[in-house]
Amino acid sequence: MKKDLSRLLSLLLCLLLTLGAFSAVCAEEALVDAPFEGLVEGLPAIQAPEGFDWRQFEGTTINFISENTTPSTAIAANIDLFERVTGIKVVIEQADLNAVIEKVGLDVNARTAKYQVAYLDPQQIMAKNKDNFIDLNKFNNDPTLPHVPGGLEDFFESQMMCCGYMGDTDKLLALPYDNATIILGYRADVFENETYKKAFMDEYGYDWTPNPDMTWDQYYEVAAYITREAAAGNITEVKYGCGMQAKQHDSLMCEFSCVLAANGGDYFQAENLGSIGAYNPGPAALDSEVAIESAAFYKKLYGVADPSSTSWDWSGLAEGYAAGNLAMICEWHEFSADFENPSKSQVVGKTKWTITPKGTVRNACIYGGTGIGISAYATEEEQKAAWLFLVWATSPQTQYLCLTSESGGSTPTRYSVYALPDVARGISDPDSEEAAKMPNLKSSGAVQLAWATENSYLRPKIPAWPQCDTIIYTELSKMLVGSLSPEDAMRSANEQLNELTGN
Amino acid sequence: MNKARELRAHRRGILHDEKLTERLMITPAIIALAVISIFPLLYMLYISMFDYSMSVNNPTFVGFQNWARVLKSKTFWACWKRTGYIAGIGISVQMVLGIAVALLIYRLPKGQNVILTLFMLPVFVAPIVAGLLGRFLLNSTYGFYSWILSTFFGYSEELFANPTGAVIGIVAIDVWEWTPLVTMIVLAGLQSMDLEVLEAASIDGASYLAKLRYVIFPLASRTILVALLIRSMDILRYVDTITIITEGGPADATRTSGYYLMQTAFRFQNFGQAAVMGIIMIAVISVLGKLFIRLMGRGVM
């Protein structure tokens, strides 16, 4: 009797498993490709449950606010592809990052949901506004809606953690949308000039071409040498060895981070604040020897850089480089497409990229990627329409489309895009036809190296970061113009950070 | 006796009705004022008691802590000090230039209106556009004025890259934009002067400088004070150009109280402390306005 019962139970179990497997297969089969144009073979397609009405939100308007970066420009240039299929009107507003922070802050504070979709800078917007954006898992797990094509695992894991979550992984706040990273750009025509190269080699005894093993001290030496030789008229292609994004602005903190973290320093003593984030960062770490030495080095570097650097943020630095004045810059890699655009640049075809120089501990390229999320105050219908936009805008298909966009392109946030043969070819050979077609690929080799854990730096993700950031770059700015010594600047910043965070 | 009493009562009734009508007539204005000024002010007082630093949605009541923090903050007072000297330099230059140009235009026998209209053009430019113009024209990479400075004066750095240059640049843009307004107001005062007094001074053999000192300035003093009042109140809130060009830098050289207030409110989303700063700014501007109005009432100058 017992044997029969166990046989019956085994049979039932088998039947259940078979049914489960069958229904899973059926469910997968029930997904159909979305009717978007320009699908590329080899990439996960945007899919929806069979019978899904892509036009159910027709007539809805979605306002999307974003920083004025190339991914948004490319999305804006191709938005008709989305609008034609869904009937949803997407209004894309692009502004400086500071303006985006202010507008999103005001919008969520007023709970008006003027912007249904927002560019959620992880440190400056998301960290303080966790409750103001919806949990995207709600839609991604909804069987009646399209899901993230390729799954969340197709995003780079570290980028997903930084851009998607705050404090814990319970709530998915945003999907990675762009992934700007600071790397080192240099003028190949200057560095590959045999006469110049030999002259430097004779004086300093090493090859001056920037590469992953170049140290910050060497970077300084090369910059100083070029500035000196350019002033003497011996190097004619550029005016200065380097430029810096040293305006009293977020950019100053970003660039300084590449020096500080390379020397093993950080802004707070707690570790891993940049990944998942924290609400209390603990004591500040800017009174350390490493921080003071890094600040002193940064000031020394300014002494040989273009003196206009203290008025340049990342855009000013890019303009200075594109005008042909600078031999080396540490710049967000997304500008690489601009440098290859003849209408914006006088250095087309002359730029090569590598990761930022090595400090006493490692190379540290600051990651500045951002996600996009949906306002918690939008209506249910707007949220669902916004979800369709998020699925489309962050999909591998659209990421590839943007990469090839004539308006400047972007850098994909998906593994699957980098696995495409033409993309892989463009990365491995920056002089290839593919790289010419997708100019951002010229920097992608260096960018991928920069994303390796040992070379990457993530700034702290804490609610008080905008104020911490302001304190840091203000004190650094005082140091650069000589109002404060490096030691006083770092100690003053340290004291203010501790006071602000209550540590 | 009764009649007189009735008459008084009747008059009181009329007066009462008249007062009631007056009150009813100004009621809409009082409501409008309450909506646009008094309620926001009360709301500012209310939010100044809350801490928004950790979360915008769930501020915590902190009593007068924000007031204490702001009033004890070195940065806050440093910003006011900076605002003081930027405003002082800016207003001095604008007043001197504005009055000088007004006197020049006033002496023109013909074409006063055309010249004044052309001179007034910068006033019609939005401050944010003035900031952008300054930023582009003085950009060391492609700016036209920077090219002139570099080619003819050997100054190749960007003006906004050092603290002194940044203050000069920021003040210069404000002077460029608002001096014409001072000119227009002062010119209106000059044109309303009694010409007989000037003619009498001329017949008495007064020099132009004497006429300026003893006739023109005393007669135009009220309009000059009006210009001074408007510009003083306005320059304390000078933020647009600073936001566009220097963002308070370099080394805090252009971080005025208005810019710091904007940063605290919109960048840090620390609305409690921003409310405190806003109330202090309103108080300063009100005291300044009151001072000028009192001077005008006394007929100073």
Tell me whether residues A311 and B140 touch, CB distance under 8 A: yes
Residue B127, domain member (yes or no): yes
Min distance B230 CA to chain A CA atoms (Å): 29
Among the listed residues B227, B224, B218, the one whose alpha carbon sits nearest the alpha carbon of residue B197? B218
Min distance B170 CA to chain A CA atoms (Å): 13
pLDDT for the residue B110:
86
Residue B6, domain member (yes or no): yes
Tokens of A359: 């400090």
Q: Distance between CA B153 and CA A108 in Å, rounded?
A: 50
Q: Which residue of A has its CA nearest to B166?
A: A311
**How many percent of chain A have pLDDT more than 90?**
79
CATH number of domain containing B94:
1.10.3720.10
Residues 237-266, chain B, touching A (beta carbon < 8 A) = 246-253, 255, 263, 266
CB atoms within 10 A of CB B221: 16
- CB contact at 8 A, B140 and A311: yes
B157 inside 8 A of chain A by CB:
yes
pLDDT tens, position by position, for chain A (503 residues)? Answer: 555 656 666 656 555 555 555 454 444 557 788 888 877 888 999 999 999 999 999 999 999 999 988 889 889 999 999 999 999 999 999 998 989 999 998 898 888 899 999 999 999 999 989 999 999 999 999 999 999 999 999 999 999 999 999 999 999 999 999 999 999 999 999 999 999 999 999 999 999 999 999 999 999 999 999 999 999 999 999 999 999 999 999 999 999 999 999 999 999 999 889 999 999 999 999 999 999 999 999 999 999 999 999 999 999 999 999 999 999 999 999 899 889 989 999 999 999 999 999 999 999 999 999 999 999 999 999 999 999 999 999 999 999 988 888 776 678 899 999 999 999 999 998 888 888 888 888 899 999 999 999 999 999 999 999 999 999 999 999 999 998 999 999 999 999 999 999 88
Q: Distance between CA A353 and CA A447 in Å, rounded?
A: 9
Min distance B207 CA to chain A CA atoms (Å): 50
Together in a domain, B35 and B171: no
Helices (H), A78-130: 79-86, 97-110
Together in a domain, B184 and B280: yes
Contacts of A474 in chain B (CB under 8 A): 248-249, 251-252, 255
Min distance B171 CA to chain A CA atoms (Å): 17
pLDDT for the residue A299:
98
Q: Distance between CA A448 and CA B189 in Å, rounded?
A: 69
Residue range of the domain that includes B123: 73-298
Tell me whether residues B158 and A308 touch, CB distance under 8 A: yes
pLDDT for the residue A3:
58
Helices (H), A263-311: 289-302
Nearest to A319 among B141, B250, B253 (CB): B141
Q: Is omega for the bond preceding B250 within 30 degrees of 0, making it cis?
A: yes
Quickly tell me which residue has 């806050």 as its tokens.
B76
- The widest CA-to-CA distance across chain B, in whole angstroms, is 96
Residue B66, domain member (yes or no): no
Together in a domain, B94 and B38: no
Q: Which residue of B has its CA nearest to A244?
A: B161
Tell me whether residues A466 and B268 touch, CB distance under 8 A: yes
Mutate to test the interface with A, among B266, B270, B271, B273 (most CBs of A within 10 A): B266
Together in a domain, B96 and B180: yes
Residue B293 identity (one-letter amino acid) = I
Together in a domain, B78 and B131: yes
Assign domain A47-179+368-419 to a CATH class.
Answer: alpha beta
Q: What is the pTM of this model?
A: 0.88
Tell me which residues of chain A have a C-beta less than 8 Å from any C-beta of chain B.
98, 101-102, 105-106, 108-109, 128-129, 131-132, 247-249, 279, 307-311, 316, 319-320, 323, 325, 463-464, 466-467, 470, 474, 477-478, 480-481, 483
Q: Distance between CA A110 and CA B57 in Å, rounded?
A: 10
- CB contact at 8 A, A373 and A119: no
Together in a domain, B40 and B90: no
Residue B288 Ramachandran class (φ > 0 left, ψ -120 to 50 alpha, else beta): alpha
Q: Apex CA B44: angle with CA B43 and CA B48, to 5°? A: 120
Tell me whether residues B252 and A474 touch, CB distance under 8 A: yes
Together in a domain, B222 and B172: yes
Q: Distance between CA A239 and CA B224 in Å, rounded?
A: 50
B147 inside 8 A of chain A by CB:
no
pLDDT for the residue A268:
96
Together in a domain, B241 and B166: yes
pLDDT for the residue A373:
97
Tell me whether residues A108 and B248 touch, CB distance under 8 A: no
pLDDT for the residue B269:
87
Q: Give the CATH fold of the A182-366+454-501 domain.
A: D-Maltodextrin-Binding Protein; domain 2 (3.40.190)
Contacts of A470 in chain B (CB under 8 A): 263, 267-268
Residue B54, domain member (yes or no): no
pLDDT for the residue A2:
54
Residue B34, domain member (yes or no): yes
Tell me whether residues B266 and A101 touch, CB distance under 8 A: yes
Together in a domain, B247 and B98: yes
Exposure of A347 in the CB half-sphere (CA atoms within 13 A): 27
The residues spanned by each domain of chain A are 47-179+368-419, 182-366+454-501
Strand A182-187 and strand A326-332: pairing? antiparallel
Q: Which residue of A has its CA nearest to B162?
A: A481
Tell me whether residues A481 and B268 touch, CB distance under 8 A: no
B68 inside 8 A of chain A by CB:
no
Helix H or strand E segment including B281: helix B271-298
Tell me whether residues B247 and A248 touch, CB distance under 8 A: yes
Tell me whether residues B141 and A101 touch, CB distance under 8 A: no
Q: How far, in whole angstroms, is CA B140 from its chain's centroid? A: 30
pLDDT for the residue A369:
94
Q: Distance between CA A401 and CA A423 in Å, rounded?
A: 12
Together in a domain, B27 and B102: no
Tell me whether residues B269 and A128 touch, CB distance under 8 A: yes
Residue B59, domain member (yes or no): no
Together in a domain, B10 and B100: no
Tell me whether residues A105 and B163 touch, CB distance under 8 A: no
Tell me whether residues B141 and A323 touch, CB distance under 8 A: yes
Mutate to test the interface with B, among A112, A227, A239, A248 (most CBs of B within 10 A): A248
Tokens of A79: 């938005």
Whether A47-179+368-419 shares its CATH topology with A182-366+454-501 is answered yes
> What sign has the CA pseudo-torsion B165, B170, B175, B176?
positive
Tell me if residue A310 falls in helix, strand or coil.
helix
Tell me whether residues A481 and B140 touch, CB distance under 8 A: no
pLDDT tens, position by position, for chain B (301 residues)? Answer: 567 777 777 777 776 777 888 888 989 998 998 888 888 999 999 999 999 876 677 788 999 999 999 999 999 999 999 999 999 999 999 999 999 999 999 988 888 889 989 999 999 999 899 999 999 999 888 899 989 988 898 887 788 999 999 999 999 999 999 999 999 999 999 998 888 888 899 899 999 899 999 999 988 888 999 999 999 989 988 999 999 999 999 999 999 999 999 999 988 889 999 999 999 999 999 999 888 888 877 755 4
Q: Which residue of A has its CA nearest to B249?
A: A248
Nearest to B162 among A310, A319, A323 (CB): A310
Min distance A294 CA to chain B CA atoms (Å): 19
Q: Distance between CA B207 and CA B216 in Å, rounded?
A: 12
Tell me whether residues B252 and A477 touch, CB distance under 8 A: yes
Q: Which residue of A has its CA nearest to B73?
A: A496
Min distance B249 CA to chain A CA atoms (Å): 5
Q: Distance between CA B116 and CA B119 in Å, rounded?
A: 5
Q: Distance between CA A318 and CA A360 in Å, rounded?
A: 28
B60 DSSP 8-state letter? E
Q: Distance between CA B282 and CA A106 in Å, rounded?
A: 22
Give the number of domains in chain B.
Answer: 2
Together in a domain, B96 and B173: yes
Contacts of A109 in chain B (CB under 8 A): 56, 269, 271
B72 inside 8 A of chain A by CB:
no
